Amino acid sequence: MALSGIQIFKYLPKTNCGKCKFPTCLAFAMKLAAKQASLDDCPDASNEAKEILGAASEPPIRLIKIGTGEDLYKVGEEAVMFRHEKTFYNPCGFSRMIKDTDSTDNIKLIISNLNDFVYERVGQHLKVDIIYIKNESGDKDKFVNTVKLVQAGIKRPLILDSSNIDNLKAALDICADKKPLIYAANEDNYETMTALAKEKGCSLVVTSIQGGLEALSVLTEKITGLGFKDIVLDPASKSLSSLVQELTQIRRAAIKKSFKPLGFPVIIFSGRYSDGDRLLEANISAIGVSKYASIIVMNDTSREIMIPLFAMRQNIYTDPQKPMQVEEKIYKIGEANEDSPVLITTNFSLTYFIVAGEVENSKVPSWLVVANVEGLSVLTAWAAGKFTPEKITKLVKESGIESMVKHRKLIIPGYVAVLSGGIESKLPDWKIQVGPREASGIINFLKNYAA
């Protein structure tokens, strides 16, 4: 049962040391009760407190791992309904459906396309995360051969789907060490499926033949009663509108009501509601990203479909409390030399990657000096007093840029043109040049600059 903040407070050290980043133990206890903090953040918590509060501070949605090593994909462990309340932890995984009725050539083509498709955005390398292999044929050999073909062609976590337990066992014989997710236990087979998942150390999708969240929660209670908790839910919603409703109900029940039978990640199949329409499938996947799918199985993962979904997922799953930052240093773009222009910007990731991208696109080799302003954009950092003539002067003096170029010209962002006089007075050897306000102006600016 969930404990209140006051109940949790009784078990904390009550020294108000602040190591947990909260001013008092009571404030930390309140956050723990709201599932917005982890007991691990209190280094002085006693073993007794850990034991008693452990279950109470468990995430309301269980963490599930699919795959191993570098191919591990984690879903679940979410603790809030909305990102601004704290953060979302584990981005939903996009999974490509492969059926064992597909031709070998077609499967090879899908694999080759997946291997070739890695999209870089704001320093992250984004790709289709998981492969879903469906025993559509019902044939054991076809299923096993498809699993072999996929395993030989690509390194990604797997989901194995068969209604025939012998076929699943045969497929698991060749890949159980990769810890695939197994699909699926229902009212008719949950005992044998649970035994198989337990034996192989894999997680298990649970879905109800009867349908509805009540039947689904009865089923998960039976399975957890067998001592197995590594569950992913498939609500098998009958329509798109009921899918959205049920995804929300599951998240709300787990987080607001601490309702354990629905406290698991959720898998959805966008193709179930799209009737072969690839754009509709993409839109349904987008709904899943925002509300509240953990794994999204898709029939079409081509570039034009995935890139907007990757961007959307990245935006939603970026921690709003921690600005994404890059390292403070001098970045060499192209074959920059001692005559190349020197630009300066801030270390907010988005700012850095946009500016660096535009400099690269200009084809003018340049030096980009990046200032650590705690991950703020140029204008915000200036307004917050973190991107100042003093900061820029110190960076120019200490970064080593003066030994890397013969000239003494520094290009500052147009938005902080107001800093130019202050910098020049502190760096009398340097001429401060005001660059464009928007990154989109960098290409023309640098081309004219170099001309």
List of residues contacting ligand SF4 (CB under 6 A) = 12-13, 15-20, 22, 25, 28, 42, 44
Tokens 């790709």 label which residue? 127
Chain centroid to CA 319: how far?
10
| CB of 350 vs ligand SF4, minimal distance in Å | 33
| CB of 358 vs ligand SF4, minimal distance in Å | 44
Q: 53-73 burial, b for 16+ CB within 10 Å, e for fewer?
A: beebbbbbbbbbbbbeeebeb
Tokens 């008092």 label which residue? 24
| CB of 16 vs ligand SF4, minimal distance in Å | 5
- Kindly tell me which of 7 and 349 has the beta carbon lying closer to ligand SF4: 7
Residue by residue, DSSP assigns 61-111 as S--EEES-GGG-EEE-----SSGGGS---SPPEEEEEEETTS-HHHHHHHH
- Kindly tell me which of 23 and 201 has the beta carbon lying closer to ligand SF4: 23
Determine the residue type at 69: G
Cis-peptide, bond into residue 184, ω within 30° of zero? yes
| CB of 11 vs ligand SF4, minimal distance in Å | 10
Q: What is the DSSP letter of 57?
A: T
Q: Which helix (H) or strand (E) holds 234?
A: strand 231-234
- Kindly tell me which of 38 and 245 has the beta carbon lying closer to ligand SF4: 38
- Kindly tell me which of 14 and 257 has the beta carbon lying closer to ligand SF4: 14
Q: What is the DSSP letter of 18?
A: -
| CB of 320 vs ligand SF4, minimal distance in Å | 23
List the one residue out of 215, 264, 253 whose CA is nearest residue 237: 215
| CB of 332 vs ligand SF4, minimal distance in Å | 43
Reading the block at residue 255, the tokens are 């987080």
- Kindly tell me which of 44 and 191 has the beta carbon lying closer to ligand SF4: 44
| CB of 38 vs ligand SF4, minimal distance in Å | 11
- Kindly tell me which of 53 and 253 has the beta carbon lying closer to ligand SF4: 53
Cβ(284)–Cβ(238) below 8 Å? no
- Kindly tell me which of 17 and 72 has the beta carbon lying closer to ligand SF4: 17
Cβ-count burial of 105 within 10 angstroms (0-12 exposed, 13-18 middle, 19+ buried)? Answer: exposed
